[in-house]
Structure 1
Amino acid sequence: MPTPKRTTVYDVAREAGVAASTVSRAFSNPRRVNGATRRHVLEIAERLGYHPNPLATALQSGHTATVAMLVPDIANPHFFGPIRGAERRATAADITFMLGFTEESADTERDKIERLARSVDGFVLASSRMPEATTAELAREHNLVLIDRQVEGLPSVVVDNAAGSRQIVDHLASLGHRSLVYLSGPHISWLAGERWRALSAGAEERGMTATRLGPFPPQVAGGGAAADAALVSGATAVVAHNDLLAIGILRRLAERGVSVPEQISVVGYDDIFGADFCVPALTTLAGPQEESGRAAVEILLTKGSTRPSDDGPRRVVLPSHLVIRDSTGPAPE
């Protein structure tokens, strides 16, 4: 059976009684086409089942119909949700989605942006490691949206770590803990600073002692040194920068014969896949990570970073909630 012939721009033009260039402009540059003519062309195109070639439309409009997302560690399960949300929103908009990782390097991140700039319409930067000044400089030339990071004047999507960190403190205080230690991620991490500020402020309000140690690599491999440092601190509760680090801490404590949560409680951030599989299952702060990726691409599609509203660039703050599992318990007497 022969394959049905694909409807072309010339078929639509012939049926609508206009030039093929008018049909192309009706899709790629509608402002240059009379409103009535455009509606007529679109009606004919829909009836004939015509869909413009995305590449051809991109060439004519000056846009690439492509967005890129950069993450610092592609192996970190925390980024699976934002990647999935961003890719699904891009697919729904019929645009191409690219993914790259920067190996926790600000220089690599900047280099990738500059090399890809001519190939994409915008970037989603997840947990960007670049200094604020560098990020602001690049934003003047490129369409950027940040995830898990805020920079003055730029659009961003974050999970509410401030309120979530207060939930962690309240949970530990309710269990009788009077001291906690925050095992921090990289100093260049915006999240590390935000989480510490919220934890220390919450601890002060509750009359608890809070100490920050680190930085530690935000990976399972960083858990050994982090756990040893936590034991030396004498704190009865540990809050890790992320779940990977927390899982590494649990492993090290088990190796040293330290019982969790009977002797020390452990809390993480992100609620990654596997946080409930470790032993004991990890108490952690969760948020709608997939929604963060979707929202970031939505901002790019609406040109949120280059055409801010009267209230400034869009800043989306998503709710967080504490997932209580077996790694936290009453403070030891």
Structure 2
Amino acid sequence: MAVTIKDVAHASGVHVSTVSRTFSAAHLVNPETRARVVAAANALGYRPNRAARALSTRRTGNLGLIVADIANPFFPPLIKAAQAHARRSDHHVFVADTDEQVRAEEELIRSMATQVDGALLVAPRLSNRLIAELSADVPFVVVNRQPANLPAVLMDVASGARQALEHLVSLGHREIALLTGPRASWTNQRLERAATDAAEHHGLRLHRLGPNQPTEGGGAGAAPGVLASGATAVLAYNDLVALGLLQELRGRGLAVPGDLSVIGVDNTHTARHCGLTTIDMPTAAAGRAAIDLLLRRITSEDAPGTVTLDTRLVVRGSTAPPADGFQGP
């Protein structure tokens, strides 16, 4: 005979409604109770009837997750953490990639709206007005963007930028190039504002170069401007831009950090392997926090707010004191 929800309730010593909440809104159940219910369900071989649940609750158990570029190593740790965290509440995550295209982002959201209970928008490029308009069709949580009246998970890149410039100051750098990213990027706006304020505070000369594509090609293409600026150190929009610049500089016969110091943003696995000094962005923690906020928004009347996660500078081998008299080739 098939195992029923009543069997699980009896085995775990809870009411049937508690078992139901465990598999439809796990964040509303005490963690110890939830663990007991899940253990009983696993031991009995119980699997929730998703179709029946959808009919009774008008929820699919599916969530959407939209990212700007799935090939960017910033996104996979966030995606994996969000998927694993969602599964603990018996939810499944559908992932979509916009390839940095605003129109594709809007189309994906509209097509997903009828198929999911809610969606995570990670570093969206849409305007705040359009995000607000689309949120009427499907509940949103936004990561690394803060539209008005929508729950958000933010990674404090401004703090990381301040740490990066303080590190460069401590090494003796006075001329810093900032390689900016896409204009519509919230991260870029925060990074640029914080770097500008920190440069003014420390009396540095900041050369803003961009916008640049958030790719290795964008970093490589920025190399002539960096060299022409006379900067001795670079803070790049992300690790891909930093690594593209680093490769181009070395291809031109320049040493990093001997001739130029380079700092990225994200602390991706590639940055770790290449010895890049970078700002660590807590992507996995952001994925888990975003799922928690989204489930609250879907299942509860209280409106979740904003979660801000700390960042930190990770110093590796791509930064050093400036070379005496370096003026570029």
The interval holding the TM-score normalised by the smaller chain is 0.7 to 0.9
Structure 1, unaligned stretches of length 5 or more? 16-22, 31-42
| Equivalent in 313, 320, 327 of residue 322 of structure 1 | 313
| Equivalent in 269, 273, 297 of residue 291 of structure 2 | 297
| Equivalent in 84, 99, 119 of residue 123 of structure 1 | 119
Equivalent runs, 1:1-150 vs 2, <5 Å: 5-8=1-4, 27=20, 49=44, 50-150=46-146
CA shift, 1:285, in A, is: 0.2
Structure 1 counterpart of 2:208: 212
Q: Is the 8 A contact 2:239 2:267 kept in 1?
A: yes
Letter in 2 for 1:297: I
Separation in structure 2 between the aligned mates of residue 207 and residue 275 of structure 1, nearest angstrom: 29
Equivalent runs, 1:197-236 vs 2, <5 Å: 197-236=193-232
Q: TM-score, normalised by structure 1?
A: 0.84
Letter in 1 for 2:75: F
SS in 1 for 2:110: helix
Residue 173 in structure 1 maps to residue 169 in structure 2 = yes
Q: TM-score, normalised by structure 2?
A: 0.85
Mark the CA change 1:24 to 1:308 in structure 2 (over 3 Å): closer, same or farther. closer
CA RMSD, 1 decimal: 2.7
Structure 2 counterpart of 1:182: 178
Separation in structure 1 between the aligned mates of residue 250 and residue 19 of structure 2, nearest angstrom: 65
Mark the CA change 1:295 to 1:304 in structure 2 (over 3 Å): closer, same or farther. farther
Q: Is the 8 A contact 1:65 1:121 kept in 2?
A: yes
Structure 1 counterpart of 2:158: 162
Mark the CA change 1:235 to 1:304 in structure 2 (over 3 Å): closer, same or farther. farther
Residue 238 in structure 1 maps to residue 234 in structure 2 = yes
CA shift, 1:267, in A, is: 0.4
Letter in 2 for 1:282: L
SS in 1 for 2:56: helix
| Equivalent in 268, 279, 282 of residue 288 of structure 1 | 282
Q: Is the 8 A contact 2:160 2:311 kept in 1?
A: yes
Separation in structure 1 between the aligned mates of residue 279 and residue 18 of structure 2, nearest angstrom: 49
Once the two structures are overlaid, the 10-residue window that deviates more, 73-82 or 46-55, is 46-55
- For residues 270-324 of structure 1, the C-alpha deviation after alignment (integer angstroms, 9 at most, x for no partner) is 000111222xx21000032101001001101111798454xxx411111111010
- For residues 65-89 of structure 1, the C-alpha deviation after alignment (integer angstroms, 9 at most, x for no partner) is 1101000101011001110111011
Residue 151 in structure 1 maps to residue 147 in structure 2 = yes
Give the number of the structure whose alpha-carbon radius of gyration is greater: 1
Letter in 2 for 1:189: S
CA shift, 1:103, in A, is: 1.0
Q: List structure 1 segments (4+ residues) > 6 angstroms apart after TM superposition.
A: 23-26
SS in 2 for 1:293: helix
SS in 2 for 1:136: helix
Separation in structure 2 between the aligned mates of residue 174 and residue 104 of structure 1, nearest angstrom: 36
CA shift, 1:155, in A, is: 0.8
Letter in 2 for 1:294: R
Mark the CA change 1:201 to 1:307 in structure 2 (over 3 Å): closer, same or farther. farther
Mark the CA change 1:24 to 1:305 in structure 2 (over 3 Å): closer, same or farther. closer
CA shift, 1:190, in A, is: 1.2
CA shift, 1:193, in A, is: 0.9
Letter in 1 for 2:131: T
Letter in 1 for 2:201: E
* Count of aligned positions: 303
Q: Is the 8 A contact 2:118 2:298 kept in 1?
A: no
Once the two structures are overlaid, the 10-residue window that deviates more, 133-142 or 316-325, is 133-142
SS in 1 for 2:160: helix
Mark the CA change 1:305 to 1:111 in structure 2 (over 3 Å): closer, same or farther. farther
SS in 2 for 1:276: helix
Structure 2 counterpart of 1:257: 253
SS in 2 for 1:151: coil
- For residues 167-223 of structure 1, the C-alpha deviation after alignment (integer angstroms, 9 at most, x for no partner) is 001000001111111111111111111100000100110010112111111111222
